[in-house]
Amino acid sequence: MKKLWRWFGNNLIRVYAFLGFTYLFIPIAYTFAFSFNDAGKSNLTWRGFTFANWQNPCGAPDVCTALGNSIQVGLIATLFATLLGTLIAFALGRHSFKGRSSTNLLIFLPMATPEVVMGASLLAMFLSFKINPGFMTTVIAHTMFCISFVVVTVKARIASLDPRLEQAAMDLYANEFETFRRVTLPLVMPGIAAAALLAFSLSFDDFIITNFNSGTMMTFPKFVYVSSARGIPPQANVIGSMMFFIALAIVIAGQIVGRKKKHA
């Protein structure tokens, strides 16, 4: 008994980590497993193994239309949020100006505001301007809440830069634009790329704000919610599994590239 308690005490962190990862990955495993279910009209119970869902991921009505809408909204919102957020991050990280502290506070407000409140407020604003909810209102809403995450991510990267690198470039007769293009931007680019990926993930995954401001437009999260009553179609599970493996591949590729650069 003492050996068991000693082993448990020595491996407590590993046990916690195992339980934590098990808790996190059980829903993902369920999604992946039921993507192979021969569901028929309902995907609530296991009916048999089949590859047909992976061979035709658009087999469920409107699932690929919803996926396309989510990807379009995500890409456009990510583009605008990354551009605006990066400019704000440089302004806050490199310059002192009146109202800088207040601006820092305002940047965090969308992150701290409940999504129900934000979604309802945006809908009220669009309706007051007589703008019907749809594709553009969804893009505007997603851009707004993604900007804060981009600013925080890029600003952290800017804060970690060594200013002596830029000073050395200027000592070698590079002007401000050349210093920014050849030194600052390449060093900040990993942070910008990480912020863009985060913004796209948040946009693609969002349901609450989208549900308020998308009108009749169907996105992938809305499709999953509407379909959940009769069991999410296995084709949606296929798409969800694909997105997970794509994200996993990007993370692994980033780690491999980072290690190669570190040992180069």
- Per-residue pLDDT tens digits of the chain, which is 264 residues long: 677 677 777 777 888 888 888 998 898 898 899 889 887 777 778 888 888 889 988 888 889 999 999 999 999 999 999 999 999 999 888 888 887 888 888 888 888 888 999 999 999 999 999 999 999 999 999 999 999 999 999 999 988 887 787 778 777 777 788 888 888 888 899 899 999 999 999 999 999 999 999 989 999 999 998 888 777 888 899 999 999 898 888 888 878 877 777 766
**What's the CA gap between 169 and 150, in Å, rounded?**
27
Residue 127 lies in a domain: yes
Q: Which CATH number goes with the domain that contains 135?
A: 1.10.3720.10
Residue 28 lies in a domain: no
- Of the candidates 174, 193, 179, 164, the residue with the CA atom closest to the CA atom of residue 251: 193
DSSP string, 144-177: HHHHHHHHHHHHHHHHTS-HHHHHHHHHTT--HH
Map tokens 């409940």 to a residue: 114
Total count of domains within the chain: 1
Query: Please, what's the b/e burial string for 136-169 (b: 16 or more CB within 10 A of its CB; e: otherwise)?
Result: ebbbbbbbbbbbbbbbbbbbebbeebeeeebeeb
Residue 48 lies in a domain: no
Residue 229 lies in a domain: no
pTM assigned to the model: 0.86
Residue 188 lies in a domain: yes
**What's the CA gap between 5 and 237, in Å, rounded?**
42
Residue 169 lies in a domain: yes
CB atoms within 10 A of CB 231: 18
**What's the CA gap between 133 and 217, in Å, rounded?**
9
Residue 120 lies in a domain: yes
Q: Strands of 1-117 (E only): list them.
A: none
User: Which tokens sit at 129?
Assistant: 């301007």
Can you give the residue range of the structural domain that contains 186?
Answer: 67-216
Handedness of CA 109, 111, 117, 122 (dihedral sign): positive
H or E element that contains 180: none
Query: What pLDDT is stored for residue 198 in this prediction?
Result: 92
Q: What ranges in 113-134 are assigned the alpha helix state H?
A: 115-128
**What's the CA gap between 232 and 240, in Å, rounded?**
11
Map tokens 């553009």 to a residue: 136
Query: What pLDDT is stored for residue 70 in this prediction?
Result: 95
Residue 84 lies in a domain: yes
